[in-house]
Structure 1
Amino acid sequence: MRESTEQWIEELLKIDAGEKMTEKQSKILAAAIEVFSEKGFSASSTSEIAQRAGVAEGTIFRHYKTKKDLLVSIVAPTMAKLMAPFVLRGFNKVLDVEYERYDQFLRAFIENRIEFLNNHRSVLKILVQEIPFHPELREQFFQNIASKVLERLGAIVGKFQAQGNMVELPTLTVLRLTGSALLGYTLSRMFYGEREGADWDDEYEREQTIAFIMRGLGMNG
């Protein structure tokens, strides 16, 4: 976790020369990312964050009025200035390729996103845990990531539908059904498949997920 956390902190410090953080602020943010990702926002305490950062708890409140401010200071700039470019930069490797079959796209999509997840797990875990409970963070997500990604994915779905190779459903419905299956695979892989001694055949589970999506969309693999 430390290597991934340090990478995010380095990027956050580079976001805007006019918004550079002090050394204490960067230590507080690094500690907050660790604690929030491990315990979730509600179960985290500023005292533990301060202890991990090696600062007095009062120091946190000199920089951030509340624990919520600390959370938003991590997630909001990450969404607006860092995560969206990161997501789209890596995703373009997949989206810019012409695929003959939808299952080819799905395999490339899974491999690309698993790599992204492994590289940025700490902050992504915070986003998954906290976005549903904080409307301002949810709005940041849709504005900076979802709208851009959905547009590109919709074009891929539209191509296969135009070729008559996919069931006629609204594009958003196709993406929702596809995303639900892929999210189920990803979460199962993360929370069960990566456990030591887990009976998990990743290649089998991945291919069965793809086959399930293809059958549901009336396509042959």
Structure 2
Amino acid sequence: MNDQNNLIEEIFENDDQLTEKQKKIIVAAIESFAEKGYASTSTSEIAKRAGVAEGTIFRHYKTKKDLLYSIVEPMIAKFIAPFVINDMKKVLDQDYEQFEDFLRAMFENRISFIRRNLLLFRILVQEIPFQPELQKMFKKHIASKIYTRFEDLVDHYKAKGQLVDLPASTIIRVTVSSIFGYLIARNLLFPEINWDDEVETEQTIRLIINGVSPRE
């Protein structure tokens, strides 16, 4: 794995409870799932990439789905959740004068995070919509812990007259979907495009602000 994914290596390669073969299997599975998706990846491909027999995988993991969960759950629960929450809190807890300034800080924060964790981001985006258990993990460890703080922040800017009088949930949905829509397009759908993050950030912020600002 490259330096962009060194956090994944930290989680598994430094785990003394895993055998060396398990670590090879997990690293191979992460790379394969990220490249081809869970459904299109076979255990025989993972075994070949890891340099082990396919039977070795099933000695440690009953099914391919068990292997996926053994990768994603510790990432979310033990490392990614506290990292994301602490990282996001740095943005959410800052007293930005303008909602626009908050958006810019949040955008920059997420671009930096995804650059360091691209394989993880790819797996989560690809698999969460189709894996109910992963949805529960994500909601439990990340989404629910951030949402309330985000809601308070929206109410704060509404009280200052900077946001339209819509439910906080609507403003959050518009904001989050716009930011992550760009990040998904940039990193997963069209990575070959020569993206200018600074320009795209400002254009996306303008679109969000135009949509959520009160009309004169």
Give the alignment's TM-score, normalised by structure 2.
Answer: 0.92
Partner of 2:166: 169
Partner of 1:73: 70
Partner of 1:128: 125
Q: Deviations over 1:44-100 (max 9, x none)?
A: 011111111111111000000111110011111212222101111222221221000
Partner of 1:210: 205
The aligned amino acid for 1:153 is F
Contact 1:12 1:82 in 2 (8 A): no
Instruction: Note the aligned Cα RMSD (angstroms).
Output: 1.9
What's the offset of the Cα at 1:4?
A: 4.0
Partner of 2:113: 116
Partner of 1:188: 185
Q: Deviations over 1:190-219 (max 9, x none)?
A: 246642xx3644322221110111111125
- Aligned-pair identity in percent equals 50
Contact 1:166 1:217 in 2 (8 A): yes
Paired residues in the alignment total: 215
The aligned amino acid for 2:200 is E
Determine the C-alpha separation between the residues in 1 that align with 2:91 and 2:134.
26
Give 1:1-150 correspondences, 5 Å limit: 1-12=1-12, 20-150=17-147
Determine the C-alpha separation between the residues in 2 that align with 1:13 and 1:201.
34
The aligned amino acid for 1:95 is L
The aligned amino acid for 1:202 is D
Contact 1:28 1:50 in 2 (8 A): yes
Secondary structure of the 1:21 match is coil
1:46–1:193 CA distance, 2 compared to 1 (3 A): closer
1:157–1:194 CA distance, 2 compared to 1 (3 A): same
Determine the C-alpha separation between the residues in 2 that align with 1:147 and 1:109.
18
Unmatched segments (≥5 aa) in structure 1: none
Q: Deviations over 1:113-146 (max 9, x none)?
A: 0000000111111111011111011011011100
Determine the C-alpha separation between the residues in 1 that align with 2:5 and 2:58.
22
What's the offset of the Cα at 1:187?
A: 2.2
The aligned amino acid for 1:160 is Y
What's the offset of the Cα at 1:13?
A: 5.4
Of 152, 174, 179, the match for 2:176: 179
Contact 2:11 2:75 in 1 (8 A): no
Determine the C-alpha separation between the residues in 2 that align with 1:38 and 1:191.
10
The aligned amino acid for 1:126 is I
Determine the C-alpha separation between the residues in 2 that align with 1:180 and 1:125.
16
What's the offset of the Cα at 1:12?
A: 3.6
The aligned amino acid for 1:77 is P
Unmatched segments (≥5 aa) in structure 2: none
Determine the C-alpha separation between the residues in 1 that align with 2:4 and 2:99.
32
Contact 1:193 1:199 in 2 (8 A): no
Contact 2:6 2:116 in 1 (8 A): no
Contact 2:92 2:150 in 1 (8 A): yes
1:211–1:219 CA distance, 2 compared to 1 (3 A): farther
